[in-house]
Amino acid sequence: MPATSLPGPSGSVPQAVPDVPGARVDEQRSESLKAHVAKLCQLQHTRFPGAQPVSFTKASLDLLLTEDFWVCEKSDGQRVLVLIAWNKFAHRQEVFLIDRKNIYREQSRALFFPHFEKPRGKPEDRIVQDIGSRWKALHETVLDGELVWDTLKDGRRKLRLLLFDALVIDGQNMASRTLEKRYGRLQAYVYKPFVDFMRENPQRARDMDFEIFVKTMDLGYGIQAVLKDRIPRLEHGNDGLIFTCITSGYTCGTDSKIIKWKPPYENTIDFKLRLRFPPDLAVDPRGNVPDLSAKPFFALDQFVGRERGSTSDGYEYFDWLHVEDDEWEQMKASGQQFDDVVVEVSWDLKGGPLSADGEPTPGWRLHRVRDDKHDGNHHTIVQKIITSIEDGVEEDELVGAEQEMRRAWKSEERTRIRKAGLVQSRTEAPSRPEAPAGRRMGPGPPMRGVPPPGLKR
């Protein structure tokens, strides 16, 4: 089941982060597929190879002025990679969705990606016999995208896969190509043949578990159009904006040239939530037995990494989550596990407990449970997100930079780089001086120290 309900677009019913469809691949086959993907992506590891964005800060504005970016809405969905492979023993194409936990799920046979070239009529050309010799199968392909629930005007929900990048197409590694070229290949070599095939095979299209589209990209200085035009017309939930440098290659892992923006105090962090209960002194006066009927302390632990051979689980205490009494009752009634799970939380200036004089205080608030993640954010990422909260960019400031971004985009030097299709070196965002005192909208996180003594798990 999806973890939690999330706000949908204006006027729609609440959305949910979709589960990844398909049959989970067994461990032995999964390891083989991971090794295959690592080879295709030219990696020395078998971890999830998808690129990960960084949070937006004041310095990110400078980067948008010095390099060319595309901007799109950041969907509130489930990140997946798509592996398109050819099973030479069964003589058929196989398609897998890979989630952030690096779990592979095989998709329905109705889903088929044809090759962009016409078949030459030889068996080794991967012609799929059950759909005729017109169609040759695409293979050795890894795509990047996200699953979303779209709510239609009549209230029906549609599961859709939005593709936005390509790591490998037909065995050709695309990581060294610019985003502009990767996106163009995705459109011409993958999506157009797919649409043509489904148009000629409508029954297959109806039998698919989800629809497929390519996500719309706008020029980096089209911020206002995305915020005021595209996002209000979305049929799925939105979580801000994503800026991606169009002259950069694809980075497997954290990419400083992919920047996620949202209003500073809507930034979220993933922690491991651990419930710590007070002792039940009536049962054990020594305090060794937890009182599981009491409201617990909601500890937020940050991931610091695991050392080989260590007995530590790689987490340390960071702060605590504020949960109202009625919210705790709802959590218990839901039947969902909340202890020892990854949760996404946000810093709310009025989200903490009331002060002695009845005024709200700041605090961390639960956004959703992250069933799609093994671990919370690494402590280095936590600090970067906190910086983006304290040193973030408001919407009016972002929109106000549009004209300067437009002038920079149209400069002769930037035009030359785009036309040449050059991949620019991976420079970090220019540094800015510290924000002036008093700019923050309230105290920044974290706000409290160690948890109260005597609590039990």
Q: Is residue 5 part of a domain?
A: no
Q: How many CA atoms lie within 13 A of 323 on its CB side?
A: 24
Q: Which two tokens stand for residue 4?
A: 């939690």
Q: Average pLDDT of 103-123?
A: 83
The percentage of residues in the chain with a pLDDT greater than 70, rounded to a whole number, is: 84
Question: Cβ(95)–Cβ(137) under 8 Å?
Answer: no
Q: Which two tokens stand for residue 441?
A: 């909208």
Q: Is residue 357 part of a domain?
A: yes
Q: Please tell me which residue in 58, 74, 215, 257 is annotated as part of the active site.
A: 74
Mean pLDDT taken over the chain = 85
Q: What is the pLDDT of residue 445?
A: 60
Is the pLDDT score of 119 beyond 50?
A: yes
Q: Is residue 429 part of a domain?
A: no
Last residue of a domain, one of 234, 263, 292: 263
Indicate the residue type of 423: V
Q: What is the pLDDT of residue 455?
A: 58
Phi, psi (5° rounding) for residue 407? -65, -40
Q: What is the pLDDT of residue 415?
A: 83
Last residue of a domain, one of 349, 377, 393: 393
Residues 321 and 271 in one domain: yes
In eight-state DSSP terms, residue 230 is I
CA pair distance 11, 233, nearest whole angstrom: 10
Residues 336 and 380 in one domain: yes
Residues 172 and 259 in one domain: yes
Q: Is residue 11 part of a domain?
A: no
Phi, psi (5° rounding) for residue 414? -70, -35
Q: Is residue 418 part of a domain?
A: no
Residues 181 and 92 in one domain: yes
Residues 40 and 187 in one domain: yes
The gap from C-alpha 134 to its chain's centroid, in whole angstroms, comes to 37
Range with lowest mean pLDDT among 33-37, 58-62, 134-138, 214-218: 134-138
Last residue of a domain, one of 348, 373, 393: 393
What is the sign, positive or negative, of the torsion defined by CA atoms of 369, 374, 379, 385?
A: negative
Is the pLDDT score of 434 beyond 80?
A: no
Q: Active-site residue 74, yes or no?
A: yes
Residues 174 and 311 in one domain: no
**Which residues constitute the domain of residue 245?**
23-263
Indicate the pLDDT class of residue 264, thresholds 50, 70 and 90. Answer: confident
9 prior amide bond cis, ω within 30 = no
In eight-state DSSP terms, residue 41 is T
Q: What is the pLDDT of residue 231?
A: 94
The gap from C-alpha 159 to its chain's centroid, in whole angstroms, comes to 17
In eight-state DSSP terms, residue 433 is P
Model confidence pLDDT, tens digit, residues 83-110: 999 998 888 999 999 999 999 999 998 9
| Residue 309's CATH number | 2.40.50.140
Q: Which two tokens stand for residue 152?
A: 């239609």
| Residue 187's CATH number | 3.30.470.30
Question: Cβ(353)–Cβ(323) under 8 Å?
Answer: no
What number of other Cβ atoms are within 10 A of residue 161's Cβ?
A: 26
Residues 132 and 214 in one domain: yes
Question: Cβ(412)–Cβ(241) under 8 Å?
Answer: no
Residues 233 and 273 in one domain: no
Question: Crossing angle, helix 58-66 and helix 402-409, to 10 degrees?
Answer: 30
Which segment, 184-193, 403-412, 416-425, is predicted with the most confidence on average? 184-193
Q: What is the rounded radius of gyration, in angstroms, for the C-alpha atoms of the chain?
A: 24
Residues 310 and 239 in one domain: no
Q: Is residue 446 part of a domain?
A: no
Is the pLDDT score of 115 beyond 90?
A: yes
CA pair distance 22, 208, nearest whole angstrom: 11
CA pair distance 147, 162, nearest whole angstrom: 6
Q: Tally the domains of the chain.
A: 2
Higher pLDDT, 454 or 245: 245
Q: Is residue 443 part of a domain?
A: no
Q: What is the pLDDT of residue 13?
A: 33
Indicate the pLDDT class of residue 325, thresholds 50, 70 and 90. Answer: very high
Q: What is the pLDDT of residue 300?
A: 94
Q: Is residue 442 part of a domain?
A: no
What number of other Cβ atoms are within 10 A of residue 340's Cβ?
A: 13
Residues 253 and 272 in one domain: no
Question: Cβ(51)–Cβ(250) under 8 Å?
Answer: yes
pTM: 0.78
Place of tokens 């205490």: 317
Residues 271 and 241 in one domain: no
Residues 44 and 186 in one domain: yes
